[in-house]
Amino acid sequence: MAEFIKDYSIAACKRKLSSVRGAIVDYPAYVVVYLIHALVDISNVDGDLGLINDAVLSLFSIFQALKKAEDSVEAQTTIELHKLAEIGISTRKTPSSSQNQYYDRISNSSTATPCERDDLSAWSMYEPEWEDYADPVSPFGASSISNECPAVGGSLEIIDIGSGTRVEVIEAHGGSVRTIAAMPDRLGFVIGSADHEVEFWDYQIKQKPGQANKQLTVSNVKTMRMSDDVLVVSISPDAKYITVALLDSTVRIHFVDTFKFFLSLYGHKLPVLCMDISLDGDLIVTGSADKNIKIWGLNFGDCHKSIFVHADSVKAVQFVPGTHYVFSVGKDRVVKYWHADEF
C-alpha cells in the first residue's frame, strides 16, 4: 500500500510541474487509494452508522467492478487498478486496529445512541448484515437446523425442539454460513457460505456407535462452487432451479439437478440480501441493500419492475402463497405490501 501511495505521489508532482497534461485514465488510481484509506482508517468516523455502512457497501461494489474493468487506452493503468481493488477488498477480511478501536469506542461508550448500538454489527464487513429468515425444520418434527454465529465459523447446529438442547454440531463450511433454505420436499436443505460454496444436505436417521437409539443427523450430498461470497439462496417450488445471490450484486440461477447455469439477474447497485420465488414459479422478487426491490420473470430473467421501497436496506421479501402479492421488510422498520403484477 505504501509503495502505491509513494509512486502516485511522485507521479502527481511530475504532472503538476509538467506542461504536458496527463492522460485522464491515470486519475482513477488516486481515487481508489483515497477510498482504501477511508475504509482502513475509520477511528474518527462519526455519524449515522446505517448511512456509513451503506457507503461502505457501495465502496466494495466499486472495488468488485474495478476488478473486472479493462482500460482500453492504457493497459498498465488496468493492472494498477486491479491491484488497488484487491487491496480495498482485502480490508473486508482484515480489519485494521483503527477499525477495532472504533468498534470498541461505540460498544463501550455510555453516550452511544441505541441506533449506533443496533448498527454496530453491520460495520464488520466479514460479518455483514445478511441474515437468514427461514432455518429449515426437519420433516421428522424433532429438530431444526441453525447456523452458528458467523464469528465462530461455518458450523451447523442440530437442535432438539422439544428439549431445546443441542444434539450435534457439524463443521459444514470453511467460511461463515450466510443462508439456509429448505428444499420443497422438506427432506433436506441448502446452505450458502462466505467460502463461495453452496452445499446440499439431506436429513438422515442413524444410530451412532455407543448410542441406544437412532437420532436425526444430516449429510452433505453435493456441493456447487460459486465465484464470490454467497449471501442468499432460494429454491423454486418445483425444485428445478436454485437462485444464488452473490457479493458482486448479481443473482445466478442454476438447475438443481445438474448445476448447469441458466440465467443471471443483474441490476442491483448493492448486494441482494433477500429473495423469494412465487409458488407458480413465474416470478422472483429480490431485495437489496440499495433499498430497492426488483420483480423478475423466472423464465427469461427479464426485469418487470424496479421499485424504490424503503429508506434503508431491504431485509426480507416474501410472496403470499398461491398469489403474486408480496411483502417487503426494510431496516427502516417498515413492512410494505405489493402486487407484483400491478405494482
How many percent of the chain have pLDDT more than 90? 42
Q: Can you state the angle between helices 49-68 and 75-90, rounded to 10 degrees?
A: 140
Q: Can you state the angle between helices 2-17 and 75-90, rounded to 10 degrees?
A: 140
Torsion of CA 39, 41, 47, 49, to 10 degrees: 50
**174-216, pLDDT tens digit by residue?**
888 899 999 999 899 999 999 999 999 999 888 877 777 888 8
What is residue 209's predicted lDDT score, i.e. its pLDDT?
Answer: 79
Q: pLDDT class for 245, splitting at 50, 70, 90?
A: very high
**258-296, pLDDT tens digit by residue?**
999 999 999 999 999 999 999 999 999 999 999 999 999
**Residue 324 CB-half CA count within 13 A:** 14
What is residue 306's predicted lDDT score, i.e. its pLDDT?
Answer: 96
What is residue 213's predicted lDDT score, i.e. its pLDDT?
Answer: 80
d(CA 292, CA 281): 21
Helix (H, G, I), strand (E, B) or coil at 52: helix
Give one DSSP letter per residue of 140-185, joined into a string: TSSEEEEEPPTTT-EEEEEEETTTTEEEEEEEEESS-EEEEEE-TT
Q: Are residues 261 and 293 in contact, defined by beta-carbon separation less than 8 angstroms? A: no
Closest CA to 246 of 233, 261, 259: 233
Q: Which class would CATH give 230-343? A: mainly beta
Q: Are residues 56 and 42 in contact, defined by beta-carbon separation less than 8 angstroms? A: no
**109-165, pLDDT tens digit by residue?**
554 544 444 444 333 433 344 343 345 655 555 555 554 334 346 888 888 888 888
d(CA 41, CA 99): 7
Helix ranges (H only) for 213-329 are none
* Residue bearing the bigger pLDDT, 14 or 189: 189
In eight-state DSSP terms, residue 123 is G
Helix (H, G, I), strand (E, B) or coil at 256: coil
d(CA 88, CA 35): 8
What is residue 164's predicted lDDT score, i.e. its pLDDT?
Answer: 84
**pTM attached to this predicted model:** 0.61
d(CA 144, CA 338): 31
Which residue shows C-alpha cell 452508522? 49
| pLDDT > 50? residue 229 | yes
